[in-house]
Amino acid sequence: MKPPILSSLFGRREIEAPPDIAAAALRSDRFRLEREGEWKRLDEIVSRMESGRIRKLSDEDVLALPALYRTAASSLAVARETTLDAATLAYLESLVQRAWFQVYGPRTTFTGWLRRFLGGGWSESVRSIAPDLLIALAVMIAGTVVGWLLVANDVQWFHALVPPEFADARRPGASAEILRSSLFGHDSGANGLSAFAAYLFSNNARVAILAFALGFAFGIPSILLLIHNMALLGAMLWLYHNAGLTLDFVAWLSVHGTTELFAILLAGGAGIHIGRTMAFPGNRSVLSAAAESGRRAAQVMSGVVLMLVIAAFLEGFARQLIDDTPGRLTVGGFMLVAWLAYFMAAGRRRAGGD
């Protein structure tokens, strides 16, 4: 009998891989070698774009970028199906993700977006909902008239319409001197003005956001909210009118009101726009119509936030520091003309060029 060879029992003979693993490794190597050149070229192009060296790219590279991206994405899909090695899979996932941002990702920075937004994008969106703004304006005027008439016929409506914090000394029966003192004279403390501006900003923002958000209920809650808020204004106008202070009150209000009420008008119009589109979608589905009008209204609301910030500063600082009627009317009138000019003119040249 032939004795066993000790070296075969204790030696370091290399263990052979099973046939299926060896075949998979061979298939993975072949797959990678066949496409590695395109991956490396895509990686180089994407790396240059990520480092801001886009101008150094040749025309051939720019034209080849979409095709190389699709090839890499296809390779990734194959790699996932055939369970190729983890390193190749991780490399392809990272490469495809980076290439996607370069091919389909946003091209503009925040500064570029802001320049395009203020240079015409916002005003174009506002003009596109002009019919809804006219509806909102009519509702706001009607709400003011309703508030005035209700209080004129029954003074108890004043207490129902005006919140107690707004009707401290300004209430029916107050003398003209008391009402005049509420319009003139200001808080000299800078901290007090800042806190007052912050409070007014939060209050105005809440009204504007609600007027917009409630539009998804076919616009009806937005209309009711506009009527309620403007009825408050009508009650206050009636109060100061009876004291012979109509112009002084309008001037006091106009400093920030021309901006604030304009912002609430835009928010209400945006809400009505969404609600009207959902109620009358035309040939589109309700969801499709709501999505389209929602994008347009969201752009309007982005500007409304900016207007509310400006209104808060005007109310917290300019109105407190300007203590005479002509000066207040000048500031309020200037802001109204500036907003109207911007919304009517900005972006028209670009739209015509497009």
- Please tell me the least confidently modeled range out of 34-43, 49-58, 103-112, 190-199: 190-199
CA 101 to chain centroid: 22
Of residues 115, 95, 1, the one with CA closest to residue 50: 95
Place of tokens 């005027």: 141
Q: Output the average pLDDT for the chain.
A: 80
- Most confident range (mean pLDDT) of 91-95, 143-147, 161-165, 321-325 is 143-147
Q: How far apart are CA 103 and CA 46, in angstroms?
A: 9
191-238 per-position pLDDT tens digit = 544 555 566 667 677 777 888 888 778 788 888 888 988 898 899 899
Q: What is the pLDDT of residue 218?
A: 79
Higher pLDDT, 118 or 1: 118
Kindly state the percentage of the chain with pLDDT values over 70.
Answer: 82
Q: What is the pLDDT of residue 337?
A: 94
Please state, in angstroms and as integers, the Cα–Cα distance from residue 286 to each residue in 27, 94, 211, 214, 222, following that order.
51, 39, 21, 16, 19
Q: What is the pLDDT of residue 217?
A: 80
Name the DSSP letter for residue 83.
T
Residue 351: partners with Cβ closer than 8 Å, 6 or more residues away = 120, 124
Helix/strand number for the chain, H first, E second? 16, 0
Q: Which residues of 171-183 are buried (b: 16+ CB within 10 A; e: fewer)?
A: bbebeeeebbebb
Residue 172: partners with Cβ closer than 8 Å, 6 or more residues away = 151, 155, 158, 239
Higher pLDDT, 185 or 48: 48
Checking if the pLDDT of 11 tops 60, the result is: no
What's the average model confidence in pLDDT over 248-256?
87
Q: What is the pTM of this model?
A: 0.69
Q: Say if residues 249 and 319 touch (Cβ distance below 8 Å).
A: no
Higher pLDDT, 72 or 84: 72
CB atoms within 10 A of CB 42: 23
Name the DSSP letter for residue 17.
P
Q: What is the pLDDT of residue 26?
A: 66
Q: Say if residues 197 and 316 touch (Cβ distance below 8 Å).
A: yes
What's the average model confidence in pLDDT over 1-24?
52
- Please tell me the least confidently modeled range out of 89-98, 123-132, 255-264: 89-98
